[in-house]
Structure 1
Amino acid sequence: MIDIRLEEMTRRFGRTVALDDISLDFPAGSFTSLLGPSGCGKTTLLRLVAGFEPPDGGRVMFDGETIADPSSQVPPERRGVGVVFQSYALWPHMDVEGNVAYALTARGVARSERGRRVRDVLATVGLDGYGTRRIEELSGGQRQRVALARCLIAESKIILFDEPLANLDMHLRAAMVEVFRGIHRRTGATMIYVTHDQAEALALSDRIAVMDGGRILQIAPPTEIYGSPVHEKVAGFVGRSTILEGELVGTSGGLAMLEVAGHRFAARTTDTARRGRACVLLRPEGLKLAAEGMQARVISSIYRGPVHEVRLQISGSDHSVVLDCVDAPPVGCMMHVAVTDAWVVPAP
């Protein structure tokens, strides 16, 4: 396990600042997802850790040792880092065993030892008996497992994932999430996972760093990122959300009283919240149809399988909210929406 630290990391491409003075720790054995929209800097950060990009400012450290700064850097092949790419990066002229064993072959490991270790690592990723298969004979999920096996056989203490599931269908992505979680439990490697898919980030990692414009907006466990975002952009990007503007009229014991469209309800808040205008985050699971609450009109309903996603326009407001119902009310009817959970997004 390797502890990774980035200090005041900056990377520019011409006039574009891809990373803007980022300082970030990846504790040994942690699994951190870098989450954000395209162009936010997450892949650039990953490439700096891997050694594929040099920093323009700051430094990268492994276990307290500087491995990259603007004047010098340790080359990628000497960092002990494994990378699993979106494109798999497998050699089509080799079979599965040849791809997985390549690092051992380059080191001069004996054939018998190579064979044993390849069989062991293929069993670990669920490809026992696939050693003689050609790459073109494999599904996308199987190719991704081969790419992961190649990292594991090299005994990488750091494994980086660059949108590894983007090319897979929904069912394969779900299966690979379980594979990645299992590998992390068994190896204890420090893992950094780049994705724009919030569901993957929430399911996989013990920490999520949400990025925007080359900066870190928030880094925290998934439950905090989802339930208690510290920035309005995080609240809007992660999960299904409605952000309303209301009046904070009082606080007590970690709860605030909000007034929105003439209706009052309690919301979780920080100790620093102050009276006045405030933004409040509402999730579908924190809302329900009730006899009392905010009056609203049903404006749409989308069937999502087990539930209907219902959108309602709040009376006397330009805002709408979304909640899930087993039985969808008719479009156009008036209802009352009760708030069972909400979060006051901290002011910038």
Structure 2
Amino acid sequence: MTTTATSPAPGAEILLDLVDRMIGAADLDSYARTACAGIRELIPALSVSYNELNPPAGRAFALIDPDPGPGWFRRYQPPFEAYMMDNPLVRHALSTGDTRVLGWGDDGLGTVHGTTLDREFYQPNGIRSQLAVVLPAPPGVLVAFGVNRGEEGFDPADRRIFALLRPHLVHAYRAVQLRADSAMLGSTLGAHGWAVVLVDDDGRVTTSSPGAVPCAARYGLDVADGTLLPDGPLAAVRAVLAGYDPATPATRSAPLPVTGPAGTLEAVVVPSAVGPHVVLLRPRPDGPQRLAAVGLTPRQCQVAVELAAGATGEQIARQLGIAPATVRKHLEAVFARLGVRHRAAAVARLRSLLDGTPSR
């Protein structure tokens, strides 16, 4: 018996393409716009909206396909913000956390018909039926997609499509949100000397911020993408991850000393219930203070830290953006302050100062 390959149904092709485009979105705005347009292609509707609602603060944000334009938002956003709790789907989701695909009238939820929100928002826009699906969000905040139609409502096929799409919407939302948060985190923390590493449950690096790899490498540690954190220097990091209970709220760990072949870093672990976990690395903050205490200037401290990490004079010059001749002058001053004559003695003395250990 022979079989012939069949291509996916047109709807399946649209769904698979939509999933790929959502996961690959550069930011949450692109994700929301891509998702709304794709949902509307799979479930024809008057409109599809991505909504972020904060009822206690009386604020609402929405992206809508098709885009109704700024004039529409000026006209209709105020009444929606004022009366959003008239929508039974909003009330139900906030009070129960229910993530099923639900519509007006389902499970005895009632409808919005006859409310102030209906008169001032839904009726003027011809919306008489709605399906919604909720995404993960902090308590008190609602993030959801809504599909809007007129009197014709939704049939079981529409509901099955939306239910099939729901886990993909959630997964893509988390992935894009994580990328956006990580980029912001890396940028902010990098300005304060932190390097950011994301690791999975097994302790394998999934993503490193631009400064993480060279920062760790100067201490003899490898945190490149795909690397399994070693048991030795980073055993404390792996112990935090192994002891984390995903059912409990995540809290950052106390600073952990991470001693590599060329010195000691400080690590802070921020576990995540959905992963990946965040590991923050930076040179121990008290080390440079001890260098300053022996009389080194701020620039000499920078040179000394690079020297302790094993950098050559040329590497120090490139790292700090100064001339090799200037590095040599700084090194002479560092040697004099430390009371040593040779590079090996200087490195040993500097590492003991940076690590807070007695000199030998």
The structure that has the greater radius of gyration is 2
The structure whose residues are more often strand, as a share, is 1
Instruction: With the length of structure 1 as denominator, give the TM-score of the two structures.
Output: 0.29
Q: Which has the higher contact order (CA 8 A, sep 6+)?
A: 1
